[in-house]
Chain A
């Protein structure tokens, strides 16, 4: 078991090194950091001093190693745009993004799976067709547009929910901030979470439906019927459990998608998270923030893949013996 986790972590190292390399190449070679940092007016002496200070006169691999070493210590340099350490900028915004992304995932899963099971079992009912139409619209509706339409309906016209920001937040344990402690904070989360979770929800629904259709045709489901098991036991016990393996994979991959799309949602709702930071940084080519974000996302993906592997292990006994 621990050997399994260990080997998975070891496999992740090269991925992180490669992404780190890309991030480093970005950091040092795109957009001439020296002139960006110094601005228009500077002397040659200032320039040389900065080059030395940044270590830009060092050989390539020394620079790479230094970059990795400082990154490992959570130091990603200074944002060109905000003139603050990137690490503290990100740490400030990480809780907002994670809170939004996790709420959206839970929402997508909790609604998408039952809808998928229902449409898989009852293929031709009216409700099934309605769900399929909803899912089609969900796939075709760009996230930012959904956000705008929700704002128009629930914030501008009906005035029920706030349209931007996180509402009041409370500091927990030093650096974590949460909006869950107040009703206003939760209300602020509703529209962004729906916006972000919609695409994932329809994806999960379609996937669960397709897998259910596949599984319901298998011999072991027919045999379960022939043994007189109840529909409930067959659909939710035997069939659903067998659809979980692919669903877990997609969920894992999609959590990355959720983090990515959170930058769109955060822009629409002015949600003070990492995504908004990234978009603002891309607009002005703020390379240190972009490379730090890239590394962080890679790390998130590696961790998610690990969790997915562990969940497989829990769901499918066939994987347990092979090791």
Chain B
């Protein structure tokens, strides 16, 4: 308990003294609040088709001629407020990203524990799979998994299940990193005396190991998870941009950018650029936090 407190306060100190970490945490917090409370904070409801008017279409953002503050970032081809669409889009992007990483953590930690604990053939097979998958680009894994499941699903269910398919596809592409870390930790613990001692007195050693391994891997898993969240959000945006991600009824940032891409040449750049900037800001803040966390938990690496 005391140790945990000291560790936490060290981390807190390193956080306070790193302007980059504070700034990126602030940005991430603002974006998360904007996304989470979008229904309360957004100036308009982009999902409410009845409120849309084609008369309002393609209003430019504030700073350009014919702009007004009711649509600070302009409107799209249907008169939808871009700012509100971004806030709702971030909700979906963040949700999919978080759930994918969570899924990857559960799968990765379970497999890592199993491989480290079981050892032998099971270990070799599992880690070989992880290695092969690591060399395989995750966007391709996600795309192929997505394509195969979509092909296997009956047509009528596709749209309703699409979000789970995407979460599964992205999560599956991310698990090996977690598995490798947890396996390493498990191997270290397995050879320690207390595990042998536990076995001697008849306590199942896997139970003791769980209690010891899990606290040890929290740090690395947090780091990989944070950096993985950035990857997952990019992966979702990419899939949605390619048109194989979320259905247009649930537009994420990637979907918004894809819509806006069509109007690039007619001069309405803001329809795609602002969602793009939101995406960059979000991923950059998350990556910076992840980098900082890695350095803070691992003082040996400068």
Instruction: Determine direct contact between A and B, CB below 8 Å.
Output: yes
Interface residues of A (CB under 8 A from B): 15, 26, 30-31, 136-137, 139-145, 148-149, 151-152, 156, 163, 253, 256-257, 259-261, 263-264, 267-268, 278-279, 281-283, 285, 287, 290, 294, 297, 301
Given contact pairs A144-B238, A156-B269, A261 touches B284 in the complex (Cβ within 8 A): no
For residue B74, give the distance in angstroms from its CB to the closest CB of chain A.
15
Find the A residue at minimum CB distance from B237: A142
Q: Hey, what's the 0/1 contact readout for B129-173 against A, CB within 8 Å counting as 1?
A: 000100111011001101110111000000000000000000000
Partner of B265, one of A156, A260, A290: A156
Given contact pairs A283-B243, A290-B148, A264 touches B284 in the complex (Cβ within 8 A): no
For residue A290, give the distance in angstroms from its CB to the closest CB of chain B.
6
Assembly CA distance A120 to B273 (angstroms):
34
Residue pair B284, A279 in contact (C-beta under 8 Å): no
For residue A276, give the distance in angstroms from its CB to the closest CB of chain B.
10
- Residue B94 at the chain A interface, CB threshold 8 Å: no
Residue pair B288, A136 in contact (C-beta under 8 Å): yes
Tell me the residues in window 98-126 of chain B with beta carbons closer than 8 Å to chain A beta carbons.
none
Assembly CA distance A144 to B244 (angstroms):
14
- Residue B241 at the chain A interface, CB threshold 8 Å: yes
Which of B150, B242, B244 has the largest number of chain A CB atoms within 10 A? B242
The total number of A-B Cβ pairs within 8 Å is: 105
Assembly CA distance A287 to B144 (angstroms):
10
Assembly CA distance A282 to B273 (angstroms):
26
Residue pair A260, B144 in contact (C-beta under 8 Å): no
Determine the chain B residues whose CB is within 8 A of the CB of A264 once the complex forms: 139, 238, 241-242
Number of chain B interface residues as a range: 35 or more
Residue pair B238, A31 in contact (C-beta under 8 Å): no
- Residue B234 at the chain A interface, CB threshold 8 Å: yes
Assembly CA distance A148 to B257 (angstroms):
9
Closest 3 CB pairs of A and B: A285-B151, A260-B137, A282-B147
Residue pair A279, B242 in contact (C-beta under 8 Å): yes
Tell me the residues in window 227-266 of chain B with beta carbons closer than 8 Å to chain A beta carbons.
230, 234, 237-238, 241-244, 254, 257, 261, 264-265
Residue pair A136, B287 in contact (C-beta under 8 Å): yes
Determine the chain A residues whose CB is within 8 A of the CB of B242 once the complex forms: 144, 263-264, 267, 279, 282-283
Assembly CA distance A285 to B152 (angstroms):
9
Determine the chain B residues whose CB is within 8 A of the CB of A268 once the complex forms: 261
Residue pair B287, A139 in contact (C-beta under 8 Å): yes
Assembly CA distance A262 to B233 (angstroms):
19
Partner of A30, one of B135, B143, B152: B152
- Residue B276 at the chain A interface, CB threshold 8 Å: yes
- Residue B280 at the chain A interface, CB threshold 8 Å: yes
Residue pair A301, B280 in contact (C-beta under 8 Å): no
- Residue B283 at the chain A interface, CB threshold 8 Å: yes
Assembly CA distance A278 to B276 (angstroms):
24
Assembly CA distance A290 to B150 (angstroms):
13
6 contacts between A and B (CB under 8 A): A31-B152, A139-B287, A144-B241, A148-B257, A156-B265, A282-B147
Determine the chain A residues whose CB is within 8 A of the CB of B152 once the complex forms: 30-31
Residue pair B284, A140 in contact (C-beta under 8 Å): yes
Assembly CA distance A268 to B273 (angstroms):
14
Assembly CA distance A301 to B257 (angstroms):
32
For residue B298, give the distance in angstroms from its CB to the closest CB of chain A.
13
Residue pair B238, A143 in contact (C-beta under 8 Å): yes
For residue A273, give the distance in angstroms from its CB to the closest CB of chain B.
14
Partner of A140, one of B140, B230, B254, B264: B230
Which of A148, A151, A256, A283 has the largest number of chain B CB atoms within 10 A? A148
Residue pair B280, A145 in contact (C-beta under 8 Å): yes
Determine the chain B residues whose CB is within 8 A of the CB of A15 once the complex forms: 132
- Residue B272 at the chain A interface, CB threshold 8 Å: yes
Determine the chain A residues whose CB is within 8 A of the CB of B150 once the complex forms: 282, 285
Determine the chain A residues whose CB is within 8 A of the CB of B284 once the complex forms: 136-137, 140
- Residue B38 at the chain A interface, CB threshold 8 Å: no
Assembly CA distance A221 to B240 (angstroms):
49
Residue pair B136, A256 in contact (C-beta under 8 Å): yes
Determine the chain B residues whose CB is within 8 A of the CB of A136 once the complex forms: 284, 287-288
For residue B208, give the distance in angstroms from its CB to the closest CB of chain A.
37
Partner of B264, one of A144, A148, A294: A148
Assembly CA distance A267 to B273 (angstroms):
18
Residue pair A142, B279 in contact (C-beta under 8 Å): yes
Q: Hey, what's the 0/1 contact readout for B262-302 against A, CB within 8 Å counting as 1?
A: 00110101001100100110011001100000000000000
Find the A residue at minimum CB distance from B146: A282
Known: A144-B257, A261-B137, A282-B242; 14 extra A-B contacts, CB below 8 A, are: A30-B152, A31-B152, A136-B284, A136-B288, A139-B287, A148-B261, A152-B264, A163-B265, A263-B139, A278-B143, A281-B147, A282-B146, A282-B150, A290-B144
Residue pair A31, B151 in contact (C-beta under 8 Å): yes
Given contact pairs A253-B135, A264-B238, A152 touches B151 in the complex (Cβ within 8 A): no
